[in-house]
């Protein structure tokens, strides 16, 4: 179990996210300050979005923006605000050649002859919770482009998550957390609103040995496959073989929050293929900017992620907004999901 190191406990030092990124850069001789600055840009966007969310109830930023996005979902004003903030930060960064966002129909190619990075993000995750003051998140990933001077294209981001250089999320909750990895473990920071800095509070986060929770929208249970139904019965202690972990259920409806709780306290999140209005079953969550970045973090923290058949990081997306089933979190529980799905339920 990772005991949060209170800011200042790290050997009496106050470690800001900027300093931590620079220190991580130190162990990556090939890393340049430009990559560190890119990660800092996500921290900046997170502060701006956190500020807007804290005042959402008083300002005219709640409710629907009045249009439907490429997902076929009613865009919320806060979705649009969060997306615009991130696009603006990265358009000006001078380092990013391509942006892929949940809220953009296609990739945004940014002109310039030396833009080595491509970023993918879900600007506001859990937006069905915006009107009810439940925690929300932002999810992001960073790829190195094959050719920094070429015009940006979908090829820069239609790649397996295994190619990610970095991934992370910002959790807008009672406090604002930034959790990221550049491939050297997973590290968590908490925003000190008084000084406006993200301070190191969770160094080298690992999934706990003993999981506590499973997270699933059981409202869809009747449309799950019999194998998934059997897996969830097992999680709850209703199947005797193999020995059941007898987990408690926790489900917020914001992927970042459910993932973060399972990372800190131990557990598994699943959103299996579901069938809606009689259509063939399919996943709901998006591979590019929700699942691949979180799978990168999960593996870096000793966990796992799969769609029930293929490790999430090995999936090669062919569409920007491709949806996949997901089982993510404690490695043993994800491996059991794969085992249950491989064995036709009698």
Residues of the shown chain interacting with Mn ion in the complex, contacts defined by CB under 5 A: 102, 122, 124-125, 290
User: What would the x/- binding string for ligand AHG be over residues 78 to 107, using CB under 6 A?
Assistant: ------------------------x-----
254 contributes a contact to ligand AHG by CB under 6 A: yes
Query: Rounded to the nearest whole angstrom, what is the least distance from the CB of residue 254 to ligand AHG in the complex?
Result: 5
- Pair 33, 25: CB distance under 8 Å: yes
Query: Rounded to the nearest whole angstrom, what is the least distance from the CB of residue 294 to Mn ion in the complex?
Result: 10
Question: 36 contacts which partner out of Mn ion, ligand AHG, none, CB within 5 to 8 A by kind?
Answer: none
Other beta carbons less than 10 A from residue 188's beta carbon: 25
Other beta carbons less than 10 A from residue 62's beta carbon: 13
Between CA 337 and CA 211 the distance in angstroms is 14
Query: Rounded to the nearest whole angstrom, what is the least distance from the CB of residue 23 to ligand AHG in the complex?
Result: 32
Total binding residues toward ligand AHG, as defined by CB under 6 A: 11
Q: Considering the complex, state which of residue 32 and residue 128 has its C-beta at the smaller distance from ligand AHG.
A: 128
272 contributes a contact to ligand AHG by CB under 6 A: no
- Pair 166, 181: CB distance under 8 Å: yes
Q: Considering the complex, state which of residue 121 and residue 340 has its C-beta at the smaller distance from ligand AHG.
A: 121
Q: Considering the complex, state which of residue 36 and residue 127 has its C-beta at the smaller distance from ligand AHG.
A: 127
Q: Considering the complex, state which of residue 139 and residue 199 has its C-beta at the smaller distance from Mn ion.
A: 139
Of the candidates 98, 99, 255, 292, which one interacts with ligand AHG according to CB under 6 A?
255
Q: Considering the complex, state which of residue 253 and residue 332 has its C-beta at the smaller distance from ligand AHG.
A: 253
Of the candidates 41, 122, 299, 324, which one interacts with ligand AHG according to CB under 6 A?
122
Q: Considering the complex, state which of residue 40 and residue 296 has its C-beta at the smaller distance from ligand AHG.
A: 296
Query: Rounded to the nearest whole angstrom, what is the least distance from the CB of residue 219 to ligand AHG in the complex?
Result: 7
Of the candidates 2, 153, 217, 322, which one interacts with ligand AHG according to CB under 6 A?
217
Query: Rounded to the nearest whole angstrom, what is the least distance from the CB of residue 328 to Mn ion in the complex?
Result: 13
156 contributes a contact to ligand AHG by CB under 6 A: no
Of the candidates 126, 168, 293, 317, which one interacts with ligand AHG according to CB under 6 A?
126
127 contributes a contact to ligand AHG by CB under 6 A: yes
Between CA 191 and CA 185 the distance in angstroms is 20
- Pair 268, 328: CB distance under 8 Å: yes
Between CA 55 and CA 51 the distance in angstroms is 7
Q: Considering the complex, state which of residue 103 and residue 197 has its C-beta at the smaller distance from Mn ion.
A: 103
125 contributes a contact to ligand AHG by CB under 6 A: yes
Task: Name the residues that contact ligand AHG, by CB under 6 A.
Answer: 102, 122, 125-128, 217, 253-255, 284
């Amino acid at each position: 179990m990772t005991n949060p190191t209170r800011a200042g406990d790290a050997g009496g030092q106050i470690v800001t996210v900027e300093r931590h990124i620079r220190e991580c850069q130190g162990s990556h001789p090939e890393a340049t300050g430009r990559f560190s600055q890119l990660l800092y840009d996500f921290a900046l966007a997170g502060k701006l979005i956190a500020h807007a969310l804290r005042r959402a109830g008083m300002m005219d930023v709640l409710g629907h923006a009045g249009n439907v996005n490429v997902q076929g979902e009613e865009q919320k004003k806060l979705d649009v605000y969060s997306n615009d903030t991130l696009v603006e930060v990265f358009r000006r960064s001078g380092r990013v050649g391509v942006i892929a966002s949940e809220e953009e129909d296609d990739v945004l190619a940014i002109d310039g002859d030396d833009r080595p990075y491509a970023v993918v993000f879900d600007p506001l995750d859990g937006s069905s919770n915006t009107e009810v003051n439940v925690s929300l998140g932002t999810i992001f990933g960073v790829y190195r482009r094959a050719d920094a001077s070429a015009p940006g294209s979908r090829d820069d981001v239609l790649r397996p998550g295994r190619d990610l250089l970095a991934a992370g999320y910002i959790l807008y909750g009672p406090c604002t957390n930034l959790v990221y990895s550049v491939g050297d473990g997973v590290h968590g920071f908490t925003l000190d609103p008084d000084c406006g800095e993200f301070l190191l509070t969770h160094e080298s986060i690992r999934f706990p040995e003993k999981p506590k929770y499973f997270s699933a929208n059981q409202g869809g249970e009747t449309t799950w496959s019999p194998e998934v139904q059997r897996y969830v019965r097992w999680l709850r202690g209703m199947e005797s073989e193999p020995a059941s972990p007898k987990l408690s259920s926790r489900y917020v409806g914001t992927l970042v929050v459910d993932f973060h709780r399972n990372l800190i306290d131990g557990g598994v999140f699943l959103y299996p293929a579901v069938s809606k209005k009689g259509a063939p079953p399919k996943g709901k969550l998006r591979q590019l900017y929700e699942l691949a970045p979180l799978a990168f973090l999960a593996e870096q923290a000793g966990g796992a992620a799969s769609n029930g058949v293929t490790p999430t990081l090995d999936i090669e997306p062919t569409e920007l907004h491709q949806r996949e089933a997901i089982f993510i979190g404690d490695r043993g529980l994800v491996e059991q999901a794969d085992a249950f799905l491989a064995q036709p339920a009698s």
